Structure 1
Amino acid sequence: MTYQLYAHPFSSYCWKAMIAFHEKNLHYELEMVENPGVMAALKRHWPLGKFPVLVDDGAPVIEATTIIEYLDLRHYERAPLIPANAIDALDVRFMDRLFDNHVMTPMQAIVNEALPGITPDPARAARGAEALDTIYAWLDVRLAGREWACSHGFSMADCAAAPALFYADWARPIPDTFPELRAYRARLNARPSVARCIEGARPYRHYFPLGAPERD
């Protein structure tokens, strides 16, 4: 079995899928979207050209959350990322959406306003910063007494949290007044599956339009 993953090492949503692969110790062939011809091949599977896209025996699996769900169905015995208990699974799925929608999305809004060639909208960036401040406060309470995002242990929610918080802290640093959240981010960064993504992305840090900080 050979999985093909159309992805980029600096992409936050690609990290999310890659972390699941690393947690399960599953091999995949990285189809690097920057390489010649790869984007055209990707668009044959998914015309929107968004990534990551997993291809398994010619069949595409699209969107990072769906990829993780797919890997868990195929390889549940290897580091389950979604609990079998339906109530626990619901909490994992909730937190997965929370990190994508309420951390990743406002972070991206801030970053987008710094991209070259656009006229920045300071109000949009300010709304993104305000949204992050609000969710940082909520997460600091949620994470008190927890090692990971949910009671299941390391899960799909943490696969989503790792890249979201990694880049969000670059765009809008997590204040010292949220020690639970800062400690959680540090635990995520130290986990081998996440650390592998951090190192894989290191050569591309110049892509970050706000300027990558001298840390992490």
Structure 2
Amino acid sequence: MTLELMSHHLCPYVQRAVIALTEKGVQFERTYIDLANKPAWFRDVSPLGKTPVLLVDGTPIFESAVILEYLEETQPNRLHPADPLDRARHRAWIEFGSTVLNDIAGFYSARDEGAFRARTDGLTEKFARLEDELDDDPWFAGTTFSLVDAVFGPVFRYFDTFETIGDFGILANRPRIGRWRRALAARPSIAGAVTTDYPERLRDFLVRRGSHLSALMT
């Protein structure tokens, strides 16, 4: 079996797949796609025109949640709990993580201060809810790294850059999230899911958005 992951340098959903593949010890190739200038062949394998896409012996699988589930079914070192109820709970929190990513996109794309503050408040509320879900263990599910951890590693990576722009208070007074965030950042699979120039690429992307956050940066 040959695995090739169609990637984009900034895509957090690509990072999920990279983290899962790395945690499972699976060999794969990574091909970067310029989403602003998609090659014709990419449109053939990605019906939605998005990354990630995993080519399995040339057969495309698209959408990160589907890719993660496929890897769970076919590769070693399972990252989902064995218990069906726990597994369902984890899937629900993965969906929560996707909603947080949508809110982050709204945060950095907000055109004016009012919209920006609304997005800030929305993110603050979501992380307050997440703080209540955590305990004092290093990972979401205690001492075992799971797919929920793989999902939130890319989420917190955004804040490494956001916090160089301003103090927005989104993660303030969240000790359990702070502990989890530090553990995730130190995890080799998460640190290695992006290229070393990721912070510079993200800052350039944010400046070019023409948003309220862009104005704060310039």
TM-score calculated relative to the size of structure 1: 0.83
Indicate the residue corresponding to 1:111 in structure 2: 108
Partner of 1:23: 23
Give the corresponding residue for 1:158: 149
**Match of 2:174, as an amino acid?**
F
Give, in whole Å, the separation in 2 of the partners of 1:36 and 1:132: 28
Q: Which residue of 1 aligns with 2:71?
A: 71
Q: CA deviation at 1:38?
A: 6.0
Q: Do residues 60 (structure 1) and 60 (structure 2) align?
A: yes
Alignment partner, residue 117 of structure 1: none
Match of residue 12 from structure 1: 12
Q: Distance in 2 between matches of 1:9 and 1:173?
A: 27
Q: How far is 1:98 from its partner?
A: 0.8
- Please say which of residues 87-96 and 124-133 is displaced more in the overlay: 124-133
Query: Is 2:88 the counterpart of 1:97?
Result: no
Structure 2: distance between partners of 1:154 and 1:137: 22
CA-to-partner distance for each residue in 1:152-180, whole Å, 9 max, x for gaps? 82111111111112214644554441111
Q: How does 1:1-216 map to 2 (within 5 A)?
A: 1-34=1-34, 39-75=39-75, 78-101=76-99, 103-113=100-110, 120-151=111-142, 153-168=144-159, 170-171=161-162, 172=168, 174-200=170-196, 201-202=198-199, 204-209=201-206
**CA gap 1:7/1:144 in 2 versus in 1, 3 angstroms:** same
CA contact (8 A) 1:174 1:182 kept: no
What is the CA-CA distance between 1:37 and the residue it aligns to? 8.2
Amino acid at match of 2:31: E
**CA shift in 2, pair 1:99/1:35, >3 Å:** closer
Higher mean displacement: 122-131 or 54-63: 122-131
Report % sequence identity.
27
- Shift of residue 198 of structure 1? 4.3
**Structure 1 stretch 197-206 or stretch 136-145: which is displaced more?**
197-206
Across the two proteins, how many residue pairs are aligned to each other? 203
Deviation at 1:121, TM superposition (A): 3.8
**RMSD across aligned C-alpha pairs, in angstroms?**
2.5
Which amino acid in the other structure matches residue 177 of structure 2? Answer: L
Q: Residue deviations 1:119-159, cap 9 Å, x none?
A: x2433322221111001111222112232122582111111
Paired residues of 1:31 and 1:38 also in contact (CA < 8 A): no
In 2, Cα distance between the equivalents of 1:27 and 1:156? Answer: 18
How far apart, in 2, do the equivalents of 1:66 and 1:135 lie? 24
Structure 2 CA distance, aligned partners of 1:136 and 1:36? Answer: 32
Instruction: Give the letter for the 1:179 counterpart.
Output: P
Q: 1:168 to 1:38 in 2, by over 3 A?
A: same
